[in-house]
Structure 1
Amino acid sequence: MRTVSRPLPFVLASSNHGTLIVNRNDYRMVDETRGYGVGHQIFQTSAFDPEEVATALQLLTLRREFFGDGVVAIDGGANIGVHTLEWAKLMHGWGRVIGVEAQERVFYALAGNVAINNCFNATVLHAALGAAEGSIIIPRPNYLKPASFGSLELRQRAGNEFIGQAIDYTPDQGDAVRMITVDGLGLSRLDFLKLDIEGMELEALEGALQSVERHKPQMLVETIKTDAAALRSLLDKHGYHHFQVGINLLAIHSSDPSLARIKVA
């Protein structure tokens, strides 16, 4: 049988988060020494955003302390699953994680990472989070060439971030992906909601307002590509205190006893 030569972008890496399937092309170099991307961080430091992960773990622990076992957390924009895995391992026996990722090839790595790390309290969904259920055509990057795949914006807009390669938003060059809402998940409990979905954060929150009103989850929402003023206004309207923590807005409802224990530099 003839051996076919083919590239191998996805590889196994022994990281601080466990064994991970990572794309070795997941990077964008800013200059000769500086770069970014989930894969880039993992290959350079063995970890991805450890301070952000630690913040999420602290919040989940507080939620259990004040509201008991059965904690439910959504990792919106899960990528290859660093947060999903760390949360699931922490909450073994007392909570569960729902990871949502829109990019098909990245989702395969996410699902594989959940399996290889035996995170039986984690469920992952191949979908995009939005304001209404339906579908969305998302661009298809070349995973065989360098780019920060976690920085890919699903919608075209003026000034899309250059992620390391040109992205074609022509519909017939993209893939149809299911669009879901947080409310549509029909959760009986929601304690923590992370949204890192490259400018679609406000859309996803619009589709989560019933859950926000009912469950008053803690939230960690990325702000670098969304209207931060509109986000703060929405959170104010729903009774949340919010703090800028790096590139994220941390939001805790005024009725949540965790608020008194939150320390933000």
Structure 2
Amino acid sequence: MKAIARPLPFVLVSSGHGTMIVNRNDYRMVDDKRGYGVGHQIFESSYFDPQEIQLALDMLSLRRQVHGDGVLAIDGGANIGVHTVEWAKHMHGWGQVIAVEAQERVFYALAGNIAINNCFNATLHYAALGAEEGSITVPKPDYLKPASFGSLELRQSGKNEFIGQSIDYSPAGGQPVKMITVDGLGLSRLDFLKLDIEGMELEGLAGALKSIAAHRPIMLIETIKTDAVALKRMLDEHGYKQVHVGINILAIHSADPCLAHVNFV
């Protein structure tokens, strides 16, 4: 065999979430000591956002307690699947997860993590979540070089975050990826909707309004790249009580009996 030298960015790690495929370049250093990224957190502490994950698990358990078995949750912007894996393991025997991820190489890691952790109650979509069905050109970062890949914004704007490397938003620098909507999934039940889609949260909500009206899911929505006023107005219009939890808004419908079990002070 002729040896061919090549880089190996994706590696298996024994994390607090189980065996996971993680890109060892998934980090952006702010200075000599501080950095961020899903991979960065896992390599530094073996966990990614454990408090946020626990909050999600608590909400899934609450929906089961109030609405019974058959809980269905959507992980919008699943990245390598830390939330997806933890939710699926937690809901073994009583719930399902649908995970959506738009970066091709990251999606492959997500699929591997679902397989290696035996999450048979998780279904994956290689797609972007938006307001309408169609296609979107997803930029392709260099996964062989450091960057916070989970911070990649699919749409170019004057406020795009620098994730650790320059991103080419030209059509030639990306690839077409299917755009789907939550409503287009035709779900008969929806209990929990997480949207962490890097500034496209309002679009993701716009494509979920029929499902939200029908099923009144609990929602966890990242706010750091979203118009907070517009988000609050949309949630208000659809009857949701809201509380800030870190960089997210936790929203529970005013008519959902789950609300009585959560302190919204």
Q: Would you call these one fold, judging by a TM-score over 0.5?
A: yes
Cα shift at 1:150: 0.1
Residues in 1 aligned to 2:263 and 2:115: alpha-carbon distance in whole angstroms: 34
Partner of 1:63: 63
Equivalences for residues 118-133 of structure 1 within 5 A: 118-133=118-133
3-state SS of paired residue (2:125): strand
User: TM-score, structure 1 length as denominator?
Assistant: 0.99
Residues in 1 aligned to 2:168 and 2:128: alpha-carbon distance in whole angstroms: 19
RMSD of the TM alignment (CA)? 0.7
Partner of 1:215: 215
Partner of 2:114: 114
What stretches of structure 1 move > 2 A for 4+ residues in a row? none
Q: Tell me the percent identity.
A: 73
Kindly provide the CA deviation profile for residues 127-175 of structure 1, in whole angstroms up to 9, marking residues without a partner as x.
Answer: 0000000100011000000000000000000020000000010111101
Asked if 1:255 corresponds to 2:218, the answer is no
Q: Is the 8 A contact 1:80 1:106 kept in 2?
A: yes
3-state SS of paired residue (1:155): coil
Q: How many pairs does the alignment contain?
A: 265
Kindly provide the CA deviation profile for residues 90-138 of structure 1, in whole angstroms up to 9, marking residues without a partner as x.
Answer: 1000000000000000000000000000000001110000000010001
Structure 1 unaligned segments of length 5 or more: list them.
Answer: none
Cα shift at 1:264: 5.2
Partner of 1:245: 245
3-state SS of paired residue (1:106): helix
Residues in 1 aligned to 2:63 and 2:25: alpha-carbon distance in whole angstroms: 37
Residues in 2 aligned to 1:228 and 1:260: alpha-carbon distance in whole angstroms: 25
Structure 2 unaligned segments of length 5 or more: list them.
Answer: none
Q: Is the 8 A contact 2:242 2:264 kept in 1?
A: no
User: TM-score, structure 2 length as denominator?
Assistant: 0.99
Partner of 1:224: 224
Partner of 1:37: 37
Q: Is the 8 A contact 1:245 1:264 kept in 2?
A: no
Residues in 2 aligned to 1:62 and 1:160: alpha-carbon distance in whole angstroms: 36
Deviates more, 1:3-12 or 1:252-261: 252-261
